[in-house]
Amino acid sequence: MLRGLMAFSGFTLMSRILGFLRDILIGALVGTSMVADAFNAAFRFPNMFRRIFGEGAFNSAFVPLFGKRVAQDGRFAAMAFANNALSVLFLVLGVLTLTLIPLMSWVMLAVVPGFLPKAEHAGGTEDSDFRIALRGAKAVYLQIEDEGSGIQFHDLALTRKGEREFTKVFAEIFGGEVQAVGDKVSLESVINEGLRRRGEVDILESDSGEEIVAAFQEARERIVKGGEWLVSDNGILRVPLPPGHDYAVFTGSISGEGQVKVFRNDPGAFALTVKLSKITFVYLLCMALVAHLSGVLTTLKKFAAPAFSPVLLNVVFLIGLTCFARITDAKGELLAWCVAIAGFVQLALLWWTCRRARLPVVIQKPVFNSDIKRLFVLMGPGILAAGIQQINLLVGGIIASFQQGAISTLYYSDRVYQLPLGMIGIAFGMVLLPEITRLLTNGKESEAAGTMRSAIELAMIITVPAAVAFVAIPYEIMSLLFERGAFTPEDSRLCGQALAAFSIGLPGYVLIKVLQPGYFAREDTRSPMIMAGITVTVNIAVSLTLFPFIGLVGIALATSIAAWVNVLLLWRGLKGFVSLRRENWRRLGGMLAASLVMAAGLYGAREMMESWLAGEFWAKLIATSLLISFGAAVYSLGVIKLRVTSVAELKNAFKK
């Protein structure tokens, strides 16, 4: 098992490294701007299905059925079932893709409601008063849709949160009015502070003090001059807000005959998200077929191509970004087309690998026989159960769309903690399921339980220290990876906070991947489905509860809490099949103790290297590398001294 895991983890590590390089280039290109939010929202949809189908529901249903066919009837008879399943999948998802692409604007209404206007003035003789919640917005936008309509803005003001009563804040969670009881200031008075945001005013290091003052004054006069608000040629008044502000509400009134919409996100975000989603959605069809072919190959213990396939996504992105980013202004469209093209490239690789392995893969006239019905019966609840993490992230994304930049912040944080999750959790899910299925099919239940106990230990020995390190030095990691170009130090700070919150649940996410095969191998997808429903409810409730208080960090923390709830439910359901022995608990305790000692060492070392960590890229790289190496050395020494494992044990496990 460990050998197959290493093969998967090795290619996954390659994919994650290239993925980081991809995200570094994307971060430098679009940062956490409107284009970044639109692309990440558009990519989330097919990417969610990739993880559900590729690493979840489809494999959890198809692999046990295909594995039994291989064991009972032989490879070629099993391929007849596989080809029929492939044809049915192609038909169903092809129809779904062709149906949803024209309806994408309606789909996005549910996915990114925060991109829609929060107040409107329809014209008329009476003034329209508005009051919108800011939720950490970086700027406010007033869009005039009719030219020359005599629109005027009056009493534009911001109100601070202040010391709000808990009961009133809690009421916001259930649709109540956002509370703001602090000082009220005019919007005009905060413009200078808002212009201090990085990228708002073009300033050179060689500029004199007078030139800097003149640049700020010129930027201010493009927004307001002589007390009159100035609308740009595209009909939008955009006013940047101060970095890290605590304003809760934006109020004012509008008069005139034309239509005006008030946004806390860029007015073009929704339309761009719809456009990009239409391009990226074809990735869903490709990834479903890739998942099917991966299931065939992994069941027959051919792990290399399925593990290498995600690498191609990052290769296509790197080619697109390095070759075309500088010659096109359509940055969002470039990113979206990279996704679509990568889907077809990945599918071609898996198809060619199957043909080369003498596994004839053909699209044929689909037959909805009893085998296919059984496959769909198992897939139905599996979509919810195995995709629980993605459902939680989707819920978080919907809530995050109400705060400008939050979707991109969560995306970059998610990318970092996905490294250990992808290497360990997803690899275990792919390798463990066919192994447990084989053992149970041959009546070796005790050996299957022993394999799962070993899997838990192997998963936690890497995941626990990774999670603790992400909590200890999150800002330093995010700053090194992404802080350049359009990605600011403030972005690094917010992403670091989200990464720390996500990391609390990292061991839980991995344990979900390890425990679920215990159900799926026995063709039980109903129990995980029920548990998933409970977990999603917990995630939604905690997200809505925490978001008014701690913003996007609350979304990440809620996802982590939901993951641990899912682990407890899965573990309880496996009673009688898998149980940890005293030695297992001792080793897990040793891993935690060694990780906490490592965290203390990282905090101390971080203080000693503070000046390097605040320096230029190469200083950050050296300092962060030393921190990680020091932490790894402390943890390795700890697990050996506490007799958690040994080099000899790891060698023996690899030989098996």
Give pLDDT tens digits for 137-147.
Answer: 888 999 988 66
Q: Which percentage of the chain shows pLDDT scores above 90? A: 23
Rounded CA separation 333/322 (Å)? 15
Q: Residues 554-576: pLDDT tens digits?
A: 888 998 999 999 999 999 988 77
Q: What is the mean pLDDT of residues 578-587?
A: 87
Q: Between 568 and 166, whose confidence is greater?
A: 568
How many angstroms separate the CA atoms of 114 and 397, rounded? 10
Tally of CA atoms within 13 A in the half-sphere of 393 that contains its CB = 28
Q: Which residue has the higher pLDDT, 57 or 528?
A: 528
Q: What region does 576 belong to: left with phi over 0, alpha with psi -120 to 50, or beta? A: left
Return the CA Rg of the chain: 27
**What are the residue boundaries of the structural domains of the chain, listed by start?**
2-109+270-579, 118-266, 580-656
Residue 268 has pLDDT above 70, yes or no: yes
Length of the chain: 656
Can you say how many angstroms the Cα of residue 448 is from the centroid of all Cα atoms in its chain?
32
Mean pLDDT for the stretch of residues 621-629: 90
More confident residue, 361 or 46: 361
Cα(372)–Cα(368) distance, integer angstroms: 6
Element (H or E) spanning 398, and its range?
A: helix 388-400
SS3 157: strand
Q: Which residue has the tokens 């990318």?
A: 415
Residue 173 has pLDDT above 50, yes or no: no
**pLDDT at site 163:** 65
* Strand stretches in 180-227, DSSP E: 184-186, 224-225
Q: Of 112-116, 286-290, 650-654, where does mean pLDDT reach its minimum? A: 650-654
Above 80 in pLDDT, residue 1? no
Helix (H) or strand (E) holding 565: helix 552-573
**pTM listed for this prediction:** 0.70
Residue-averaged pLDDT of the chain? 83
Ranges assigned E (strand) in 127-285: 128-133, 139-144, 152-160, 184-186, 224-225, 228-229, 236-240, 247-255, 260-263
Question: The tokens 């971060």 sit on which residue?
Answer: 27
**190: DSSP letter:** G
By the 8 A CB rule, do 107 and 98 touch?
A: no
Q: Please tell me the number of Cα atoms within 13 Å of 579 on its side-chain side.
A: 5
Q: Taking 90 as the threshold, does the pLDDT of residue 370 lie above it?
A: no
Q: What phi-psi label fits residue 263: left (phi over 0), alpha (psi between -120 and 50 degrees) or beta?
A: beta
- Least-confidence region, from 229-233, 440-444, 639-643: 440-444
Say if residues 485 and 29 touch (Cβ distance below 8 Å): yes
| Confidence at 136, pLDDT banded by 50, 70, 90 | confident
pLDDT surpasses 50 at 85: yes
Mean pLDDT of 372-378: 83
pLDDT (tens digit per residue) in 18-29: 887 888 888 888
DSSP codes joined into one string, 470-533: HHHSHHHHHHHHH-STT--HHHHHHHHHHHHHHHHTHHHHHHHHHHTHHHHTTT--HHHHHHHH
Tell me the torsion sign for CA atoms 536, 542, 543, 545: positive
- Token readout for 245 is 């502000």
Handedness of CA 314, 316, 317, 321 (dihedral sign): positive
Which residues on neighbouring strands pair with residue 141, listed in sequence order?
Answer: 238, 263
Do 525 and 60 contact (CB within 8 A), yes or no? yes
**Predicted local confidence at residue 395, as pLDDT:** 67
Q: How far is CA 147 from CA 119, 221, 242, in A?
A: 19, 21, 30
Residue 317 has pLDDT above 90, yes or no: yes
**Which residue carries 């200031």 as its tokens?**
185
pLDDT the model gives residue 336: 95
Give residue 596's pLDDT: 94
Taking residues 49-78, report their average pLDDT.
Answer: 74
Cβ-proximal residues to 579 (8 Å cutoff; 6+ apart), any chain: 449
Residue 332 pLDDT grade (very low, low, confident, very high; cuts 50, 70, 90) = very high
Pairwise CA distance, residues 119 & 191, whole Å: 22
C-alpha span between 347 and 213 (Å, rounded): 56
Q: Give the confidence band of 161 by pLDDT, cuts at 50, 70, 90.
A: confident
Percent of residues, the chain, with pLDDT higher than 70: 86
pLDDT band at 525 (very low <50, low <70, confident <90, very high): confident
Mean pLDDT is lowest, of 81-85, 123-127, 354-358, 425-429, for: 425-429
Quote the longest CA-to-CA distance of the chain.
84
DSSP state of 125: S
Going by C-beta distance under 8 Å and a sequence separation of 6 or more, which residues neighbour residue 466? Answer: 419, 420, 503, 506
| pLDDT at position 172 | 52
pLDDT at 655 exceeding the cut of 60: no
Amino acid at 575: K
- Alpha carbon distance 329, 29 (integer Å): 11
Residues 176 and 133: their CA atoms lie apart, in Å, by: 11
